[in-house]
Amino acid sequence: MKKSEEFQKQIQDLFKSEMLAVLATQRNGQPYASLVAFWSTDDLKHLYFVTPKTTRKFDNIRSESRVALLMDNSTNQDADFHRSIAVTAVGHARELMEPDRAEVLLHYLAKHPHLEDFARSPTAALVDVRVRTYYMVSNFQQVRELHFN
Amino acid sequence: MKWVLNASDVMPDDRQIVGGKAYALALLAQSGYPTPETLCVTSRAYRAFVGRTGLGERVMLELHRKDFNDMRWEEIWDCATRIRNMFLRTPLPPVLATGLKKEIETRFKNKAVAVRSSSPEEDGRRSSFAGLHQSYLNIRGPDAILEHIRKVWASLWSDAALLYRREIGLDVEKSAMAVVIQEILIGTASGVIFTQNPNDPAQGVIESVYGLNQGLVEGSVEPDRWILDRRGKTILAHTPAVRQQWVIPHENGVRLASLPADLSGRPPLNANEVLRLYALARQVENSFKSPQDVEWTLNKKKFSILQSRPITTLTTAASDDQRGWYLSLHRSFENLKSLRQKIETERIPAMISVAETLGEQDLTRLSDSKLAAEIKNRREINQQWVNIYWEEFIPFAHSIRLFGQLYNDVMHPEDPYAFADLLIRTDMASMERNRALTELAELIRNDRRLAAQLKKRKYEQASPVFFEKIETFIRKFGDLSCTVTGGTQCVEGAEPLFDILLEIAAHPPQSAEQRKLKNTESLQKKFLESFTGRERDQAVELLDLARRGYQLRDDDNIYLGRIEAQLLRAVQEAKTRIDKRPRGMKKSAVSTELIDTLADLDYRPQTPNPYRVGQDMNFKIQARQLVGQPAGPGLAIGVAKVVQQHTDLADFKYGEVLVCDAVDPNMTFVVPLASAIVERRGGMLIHGAIIAREYGLPCVTGIADATTLIKPGDKITVDGYLGIVTLGSGEI
């Protein structure tokens, strides 16, 4: 396996094992962080999450589509410092509309089946984050980047 | 993974996965007692189902939507309804379905079976779930059996079971359910034995009915009863029943039928059979080493044991629990029918006549002393009707629930409250009042001069014809600012009514009825097509009963409001007299009596608002997103009209969100103006939710402290799909 493939595989594995991500949005220069349940495509180019349309995070995305997400496997122990992996994604967010919404939602709900009622509400938005770059931190301070063209 | 176990293969270690009932049955079978063929579906099958489908976490999300202790039992019922619907709509994962089906087919082919709950939490001594979880009789074929297994699983989350589990402190996250599939023996007689009489330890009791046991267990068939001497094993007494009915198998289930005449004349067991049966039961007691509550049936002259469990009522710890009360929340179809009869033929006519009689009395002619006595009298009458309301009218609402459950069982709708659309009737009193309001507003809308006169409060210039109509309205429906349950403040004159009419007239007309009714017919047709023969008749009857229950949920408050209005009329008269008293006049003893009477009535407990505490500290806690129950789908943004008292309704503006503690039907005249409804009291069948559904408004109920956390004039967003109310614009 090539180094780049290995790197991608590490991210894919992390995304399969983790349910939640920290989403960073902003309004008028003020950053804002929220917890979201995410799903990513195998090619890692898209990250998806669901939010009610009445939330701050969704308002923020509507006025500024640039966002970041943090996914990590830390377990709140000392060993996290050498063992855990954290991946930051930066990209553009937009609400995904039909017809794509229905298909993506099926995948999303396969990972988070208990969110069915929430995600199917007409007042919930399925947000598509088109990822530009991943930053992966491992072994405490080793940082690698994955750029999409 | 052991998803199923034969009764003969159950080991002592399996108790936790097969549950109390199945474990006892397995022991009986293994000890050689006559029992019907039995298969245990273990709690591992349940866990596989909820784990693989995500249902487990969905149930937990539903139960943790808000603090369980803050939920009213109506909310808990809603919770249970939604969970039950999730179970009905979630198919078994293929691997589980195939595995279970194969076992069921091999064992039972097309034989009729009972599908019974067997709770692993039931330890037999401290807790008893008897009657709280569901069991189904006379189910045939693997697919039907699989469907009923899901229903039994869902009954783990019934409202009664949830309340009971909360009471005895069981952890809901650990709850699971095992199921017993048992061949049905169509007995000529069935019954229950208490090997030791709960009321007298020296005795035993046998109860017996013709046909299946369900009639006895549910209380619809009266049993013959024998008292036996425990030591001598002799009959001490026999109390025959008035034998009129029995429960027999019918299509896919059972039904209550008239008992053939030749059976009604003799007891279901003869003396010899009673003694044989008691001897058998005592053997079972010896095997389990404690007095038992044994269910049995007599088939082809042979007794079979259907289940056996320790008698929980013998222990003091269990005897003071509330299980009986939780069970009483569920009324049977028969019980509801007689309740309806009573409400319709006795209660409502009496309420109307009480209000009328009180209305005819000329209060101005009473002396102060007589008026004070009259106020007390009216307060007692009012209280008496409030009590009847709680004891009879509220339980009658269970007809709606019974129907909802049947509808959901048959239709598996996406929205577990879709059945409410079938219950809407346009002849509800509050709807009739709102229609009359719409007509009055229409007159103003079409007559600019009249509108201007009313706006300037130059009533004397307005047309007498219009005023006659207003008077008719007030005579029929009362002064809108006055008739409110619990309120004592009345605004004199009809200004509030004119303000509301002007506001309605200033905006395009809305009609609630046109929205829904066209769907109702096809929905009803589809629902009834799922039944044939007798079952169809029963479904029609239940629908009718539920419609009446639904209508009464609204109307009963109006009737009650009329009686209360008469109490308020007397209070108003007293207030007027006290106010008119010349300044400085010495208080007479009689006036003091009146004043005291009023002071007594005016007492209102204050609810402390936890969020106000600490406002003088250097931080503040502010509500942003409040979670309640989604009670009417839709999304609306509007200015909050927080209603603390009835008079706040008078200046309700078009597009405002009605925020209140509890909507009662006497308040719903502002609903045609509202953009959404938010209510502190929770539930899907409360007035706020009913009326919101009628008008297609977003509605969220069960928001704790709604009227204190939301301030008048706040901009709020009501998400009726998710049950969320968001305050403010979310500046950061």
Residue B299 sits in the same domain as residue B426: no
Domain assignment of residue A146, yes or no: no
Q: Where do the DSSP E strands lie in B20-111?
A: 38-41
Residue B254 sits in the same domain as residue B208: yes
- Domain count along chain B: 4
Domain assignment of residue B34, yes or no: yes
Residue B500 sits in the same domain as residue B588: yes
Q: CA distances (Å), A149 to each of A45, A91, A109, A131, B284, in order?
A: 10, 12, 29, 10, 77
Domain assignment of residue A96, yes or no: yes
β pairing state of B4-6 and B38-41 = antiparallel
Best mutation site among A39, A62, A118, A121 for testing chain B: the one with the most B CBs within 10 Å?
A: A121
d(CA B120, CA B131): 15
Domain assignment of residue A110, yes or no: yes
Q: How many CB atoms lie within 10 A of CB B433?
A: 20
Nearest to B695 by CA among B429, B514, B433, B442: B514
pLDDT for A12 equals 96
Q: Where are the alpha helices (DSSP H) in chain A?
A: 3-17, 56-63, 80-83, 100-111, 116-119
B67 has a pLDDT exceeding 60: yes
Q: Under an 8 A CB cutoff, do B722 and A52 touch? A: yes
Residue B492 sits in the same domain as residue B563: yes
Q: What is the mean pLDDT of residues B157-182?
A: 83
Nearest to B386 by CA among B489, B476, B482, B485: B485
pLDDT for B324 equals 55
B610 has a pLDDT exceeding 70: no
Domain assignment of residue B609, yes or no: no
CA–chain centroid gap for B238, Å, is 38
Q: Under an 8 A CB cutoff, do A27 and B732 touch? A: yes
pLDDT for B482 equals 53
Residue that wins the pLDDT comparison between B319 and B721: B721
Residue B300 sits in the same domain as residue B166: no
pLDDT for B190 equals 94
Domain assignment of residue A7, yes or no: yes
pLDDT for B367 equals 87
CA distance to partner chain B, nearest, from residue A109 (Å): 9
Domain assignment of residue B649, yes or no: yes
SS3 A27: strand
Domain assignment of residue B722, yes or no: yes
Chain B residue with minimal CA distance to A52? B722
pLDDT for B645 equals 78
pLDDT for B208 equals 94
Percent residues over pLDDT 90 in chain B: 35
| CATH number of residue A57's parent domain | 2.30.110.10
pLDDT for B179 equals 96
d(CA B651, CA B653): 6
| CATH number of residue B203's parent domain | 3.30.470.20
| CATH number of residue B721's parent domain | 3.50.30.10
Residue B357 sits in the same domain as residue B482: yes
pLDDT digits (tens, 9 = 90+) for B271-296: 999 999 999 999 999 998 889 989 99
Is the minimum CB–CB distance between B625 and chain A shorter than 8 Å? yes
User: Which residues of chain A, if any, have pLDDT below 50?
Assistant: none
Rounded to the nearest integer, the mean pLDDT of chain B is 83
What is the residue range of B168's domain?
4-183
- Domain count along chain A: 1
SS3 A37: strand
B325 has a pLDDT exceeding 60: no
pLDDT digits (tens, 9 = 90+) for B228-285: 998 877 899 999 988 988 988 887 778 888 999 899 999 999 999 999 999 999 999 9
Which chain A residues are within 8 Å of B732, Cβ to Cβ? 27, 30, 32, 56, 60
The helix or strand, by DSSP H or E, that contains position B547, with its residue range, turns out to be helix B533-580
Contacts of A6 (CB under 8 A, 6+ apart): none
pLDDT digits (tens, 9 = 90+) for A44-71: 999 999 999 999 999 999 999 999 999 9
Q: CA distances (Å), B369 to each of B568, B588, B594, in order?
A: 17, 11, 7
d(CA B499, CA B484): 18
pLDDT for B87 equals 93
Contact B31, B283 (CB under 8 A): no
d(CA B204, CA B284): 13
Residue B552 sits in the same domain as residue B659: no
Residue B474 sits in the same domain as residue B592: yes
What is the residue range of A116's domain?
3-140
Burial-class residue B447 by CB neighbours within 10 Å (0-12, 13-18, 19+).
middle
When CB atoms are compared, the residue of B54, B719, B730 closest to A59 is B730
Q: Under an 8 A CB cutoff, do A114 and B732 touch? A: no
When CB atoms are compared, the residue of A56, A60, A113 closest to B54 is A113
Domain assignment of residue B270, yes or no: yes
The helix or strand, by DSSP H or E, that contains position B383, with its residue range, turns out to be helix B368-388
Chain B residue with minimal CA distance to A25? B732
d(CA B81, CA B84): 5
Domain assignment of residue A148, yes or no: no
Q: What is the mean pLDDT of residues B410-431?
A: 79
Tell me which amino acid residue B626 is.
Answer: L
d(CA B506, CA B510): 12
Chain B residue with minimal CA distance to A29? B732
Residue B588 sits in the same domain as residue B475: yes
Residue B546 sits in the same domain as residue B565: yes
Of the residues B131, B154, B183, the one at which a domain ends: B183
Domain assignment of residue A122, yes or no: yes
Of the residues B123, B148, B183, the one at which a domain ends: B183
> Which of A74-78, B591-595, B597-601 has the highest average model confidence (pLDDT)?
A74-78
Contact A39, A108 (CB under 8 A): yes
Kindly provide the ipTM of the predicted complex, given to two decimals: 0.86
Domain assignment of residue B48, yes or no: yes
Q: Under an 8 A CB cutoff, do A52 and B732 touch? A: no
CA distance to partner chain B, nearest, from residue A98 (Å): 19
Domain assignment of residue A17, yes or no: yes
When CB atoms are compared, the residue of A27, A113, A124 closest to B53 is A113
Residue B194 sits in the same domain as residue B166: no
Domain assignment of residue B106, yes or no: yes
Contacts of B206 (CB under 8 A, 6+ apart): B191, B192, B193, B225, B226, B228, B269, B274, B277, B278, B281
pLDDT for B685 equals 76
Tell me which amino acid residue B583 is.
Answer: R
d(CA B414, CA B418): 8
Q: Which residues of A79-95 are buried (b: 16+ CB within 10 A; e: fewer)?
A: eeeeebbbbbbebebee
Domain assignment of residue B323, yes or no: no
Domain assignment of residue A29, yes or no: yes
Residue B176 sits in the same domain as residue B199: no
